[in-house]
Structure 1
Amino acid sequence: MKSFWDTLPKPFFVMAPMADVTDVAFRALVAKRGKPDVFWTEFVSADGLYHTRPVRDKESETPGLPSAGVSNGTSEIQRSESHNSLLRDLQFAPDQRPIVAQIFSSKPETIAYAAALAEKLGFDGVDLNMGCPDRAIEKQGAGAALVKDPVLAARLIRTAKEASSLPVSVKTRIGYHKESLDEWLTALLEADPAAITLHLRTRRELSLVPAVWEQMNKAVAIRNRVNPRVLLIGNGDVQNLEDARAKVATTGCDGAMLGRAMFGNPWVFAGRKPEDAPLEEKLVALAELAYGFEKITPLKNFSILKKHIKAFVAGFDGATDLRTKLMQATSATELERAIRENQV
């Protein structure tokens, strides 16, 4: 069955899922200034979604699924009836499409529930995280730990595909202690996901060394031999759209995922570099992000925005002083006031 993946231009460029970064407010900022070809949510625990689900139907003993709805806010955020913190991370707006819900777990039962929920909430696809190196997640057997268990990883892909009609994709790494594409990527390809994003580092390397884009050439060769239908997306150290195009052209993959390149540059998918935006334009974007962030429910800690302040307010005379002032803001109103005082 065809999906949005089959309609994407080649090459395509997508938004990386980043915890406490790619929330609905940040995606709105990016969508307004140059949309990626595919949006990703922050990653969400499938176990958590399962254990905070509505009460089971007493007759069928089938886990209930919350129904989708649209908020009355200006952004018309897609929501669930329940406003718990996990479902909060699955909010999205109509202009953020196609959008993929990223989930993680090592349990087929919870993956099945979360995949069905993603379809119920109106997502265009579901992505399984098999690359996060966070120790707490690995202790659950999820994230990068799955690289060491190709059989279970393949089972989770098949389970997600059976649980909904959404296309299933995977985001992972090229190996655990060392590169193991021959075994690892082959196992994933045989499970037939719609797409695989490869962070071109091992789990051991974290992000401490440069991404090895040369490994994508090997990955493409394996894909072409095992399952040519699967799209391959490269990830790691992509500086801007120009760099993304060059990396895709050199390796032969289908697209690239941009992550840190979005920090302080919501125009990245429009082809602009950080230095292309004047300071005033950056500060307007930062204030807009802050106000959007405050509309997310349940409320998130405003201090999460500090990483964005650091990215937007850098590289110019007086940046340190202004950044220090903005870091003290505890609300969008305070942040905007500090910006205006700086412009006087």
Structure 2
Amino acid sequence: MPADSDPPKLSTRFSTLACPRERQLLAWRDRVGHVIDVVPDKDQIARGFAGSIDLHAAGGLVFTQARTDALVLERSIARVSTDMRRDFAFHVYAEGETGHVSGLSVKRSAPGSVRGIIAFDLNQRFRIERPACRVLTMFVPRAIVAAHIGDCEALHGRVLPEHAPLARFVFEHFDVTARELPALERPDAIDVLDAGAQLLLAAFADKPHALSDSRAALQTAVKRQVKRYIEARLHEADLTPTTIVEALGLKRATVYRWFEQEGGLAAYIRHRRLREAADELARFPNLQIADIAFGLGFKSASDFTRAFRRAFDVSPLEMRLRALDLLRATTGDPITRMRAAHSKGVPESG
């Protein structure tokens, strides 16, 4: 999707809390007015309005996280006819519901206010009476949407409830994106945003599994979900491929296939535990090696030592001693610095 010539990652933050109460809703109107109109009333202005929005842009995609009180938003036909915004806005309601949407043609069977995802074509009019919520929004260029979905105009106003196929993966990915995006460098931010856009298009496509790009995005999102689950439970003895697929409600064969490059899901878990063990050997020099092994689910110290040597070509004890030598060398002690250099085969300078 993105081009290398795109500008650097952009991040901004805005909150109405810095404004006087009578100016809060009007300040929000000014902040989002380049995309959509806020329809205020006198009582709402007098009460004050709590709203905050974080915006991140990279690789031609824009992602926002907004928390707001109840409000009314409108993109009128006059606005559509006078500005040049033609992209799509996908609203993912992480907290709260979609509210009442009007000003567009929807099927009678379309869901009302639900926790879900709603797509808006900014080239068409709409009005939202929205309750208090936390909404994650991705703006996707029209050309990208049209390349994946033939009749993209028909997406306008379409709602996917949270239980719809692929919807839960979108919720998971966007929630993580909101937390991690502020700290990501531009290349990683582009990857995360691109995967989010592909997931959205897969979720809204009539035949999502027919899109190879969408399958790749789904695979990326699910693998990240599995890896996060593993990272959070490395020290649990009952962490196994079976418990993972059962806990996440995934298909065993599919997940196993997606981890083939890592040697399989069991091999990936073992590698992550060994890598965590290496970190703990360095961080906690007074902790017994056997305690580290048992704490990471290994059945015996000997099994741990054999696995560690196969993975890193050194024993746990040798790795710990090398780590201690390197740590001492950084303190400026010339003798320990020399020992560390010789242990790695590096000639001492000077």
Q: TM-score range by the shorter chain?
A: under 0.3
TM-score (norm 1): 0.26
Larger radius of gyration: 2
Question: Larger helix proportion, structure 1 or 2?
Answer: 2
Q: TM-score, normalised by structure 2?
A: 0.26
Bigger RCO of structures 1 and 2 (CA < 8 A, at least 6 apart): 1
